[in-house]
């Protein structure tokens, strides 16, 4: 088992920046390698918080979708048996969480297009925009 993989990856990225970059022979190689190190650091962040941030999205999207269904908005994907949350079986890998996140995002797009111009569903529209604002903040990379 690798202890603390994200901090390990960050340390490796730091080592590339401090030791490898200065030893390179061209400005292009130095800039390219420095950017690779920055991207490694970004990946380390995503390893640490990626599942949590996607699960937070999934929770809010699930609530919006249920509210839409309760308001009588047809959600074909739910009628055909789509799930709104991970069932606890199996690992919470990024791949698995991504799949559900993508599925719910598609439903959200469909609901948003239904409600965005309707006075009747203004509360739902508001909650969708607030979610979109929150998720875009949540996933912002600190680079």
Instruction: Point out which residues bind other proteins (CB under 8 A).
Output: 26-28, 31-32, 35-36, 38-39, 42, 98, 101-102, 105-106, 108-109, 112-113, 116, 125-126, 128-130, 132-133, 136-137, 139-141, 143
d(CA 16, CA 103): 38
CB 1, min distance to other proteins, A: 27
CB 135, min distance to other proteins, A: 8
Number of C-alpha atoms within 13 angstroms, CB side, residue 98?
5
Q: What DSSP designation does 23 have?
A: G
Helix %, strand %, coil % of the chain (to 5): 75, 0, 25
Pick 3 or 32: Cβ nearer other proteins: 32
d(CA 43, CA 137): 17
Pick 7 or 31: Cβ nearer other proteins: 31
Question: Phi, psi at residue 59, to the nearest 5°?
Answer: -60, -50
CB 107, min distance to other proteins, A: 9
CB 104, min distance to other proteins, A: 9
Q: What DSSP designation does 21 have?
A: G
Pick 19 or 136: Cβ nearer other proteins: 136
Pick 1 or 53: Cβ nearer other proteins: 53
């Amino acid at each position: 088992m690798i202890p603390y993989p994200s901090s390990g990856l960050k340390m490796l990225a730091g080592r590339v920046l401090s030791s490898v970059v200065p030893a390179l022979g061209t400005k292009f190689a130095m800039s390219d390698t420095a950017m690779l190190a920055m991207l490694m650091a970004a990946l380390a962040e995503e390893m640490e918080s990626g599942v949590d941030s996607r699960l937070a999205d999934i929770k809010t999207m699930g609530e919006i979708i249920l509210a839409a269904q309760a308001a009588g908005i047809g959600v074909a994907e739910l009628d055909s048996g789509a799930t709104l949350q991970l069932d606890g079986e199996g690992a919470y890998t990024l791949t698995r969480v991504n799949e559900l996140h993508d599925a719910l995002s598609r439903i959200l797009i469909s609901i948003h297009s239904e409600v965005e111009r309707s006075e009747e569903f203004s509360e739902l529209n508001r909650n969708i925009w607030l979610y979109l604002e929150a998720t875009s903040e949540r996933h912002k990379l600190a680079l």
